[in-house]
Amino acid sequence: MRAAVVVFPGTWSDGDCVWALAQCGIESRKVWHTDETAFEADELVVLPGGFSYGDYLRTGAIARFSPVMEAVARHAEAGGLVIGICNGFQILCEAGLLPGVLMRNDSLQFRCQDVYLVPVNQTSPFLAHIDPSRGYLMPVSHGEGRYVADEATLAMLEDTDRVAFRYAEADGTVTPDANPNGSANNIAGILNERGNVLGMMPHPERACEALLGNEDGNVIWRSVLEAVGVTA
């Protein structure tokens, strides 16, 4: 399996994603935002964190018009795997590939800290092979990470098992104190209807080896590999 890491002006986590994927044996290539070339059917498309276009207007609002996003949309529609991390999540929401929006943290402060996540969905390739009985430690680094949607959308996400991760305690218990940004329902990540598009605010690529403190982020990449029949 290979990955394509999309790079926008202002993206800074592309190198981190390439490194993290390599820890699980996934070879990556970088794709510049003006590239309209279709992705390979079996590629994992990664939209990394950063400040695309300086977050002018609002996060992801300009990047969603980059030519590469048409190729990302086609890839998702064809069933290809797409993950948006932090700014990538914001871009996916702005592009309409995921519902809702990411707003200013309820503290009105930029938050850079470790959080625990508990997986909710157990059928998406991104989560199907992750133990749901515990929390996973990954860092957040954002000022606009509060997931917001109207009540109907939140109910739809809950009823159709499209919540990917919630902010939680180390043992997986979901509490208000575990929520770093005020996201509705402690939501840290969501899925599209087919489960092949994941958006999440925490950074799994920053939790990929013991040197960084832990390797919990790798569970996502390993779940994908197992889902497609590749042993990490």
List residues with catalytic annotation: 86, 203, 205
b/e map 5-19, b = 16+ CB within 10 Å = bbbbebbebbebbbe
Nearest CA to 142 out of 56, 57, 13, 50 is that of: 50
146-148 and 136-142 as β-strands: parallel, antiparallel, unpaired? unpaired
Residues 6 or more apart from 12 whose CB is under 8 A from it? 48, 49, 50, 51
Q: Which two tokens stand for residue 132?
A: 């749901």
Q: Do residues 207 and 216 lie in contact, with contact meaning Cβ atoms separated by under 8 Å? A: yes
Tell me if residue 225 falls in helix, strand or coil: helix
Q: Do residues 135 and 122 lie in contact, with contact meaning Cβ atoms separated by under 8 Å? A: no
Q: Do residues 82 and 72 lie in contact, with contact meaning Cβ atoms separated by under 8 Å? A: yes
Nearest CA to 118 out of 66, 74, 170 is that of: 170
Residues 6 or more apart from 19 whose CB is under 8 A from it? 205, 208
Q: Do residues 130 and 209 lie in contact, with contact meaning Cβ atoms separated by under 8 Å? A: no
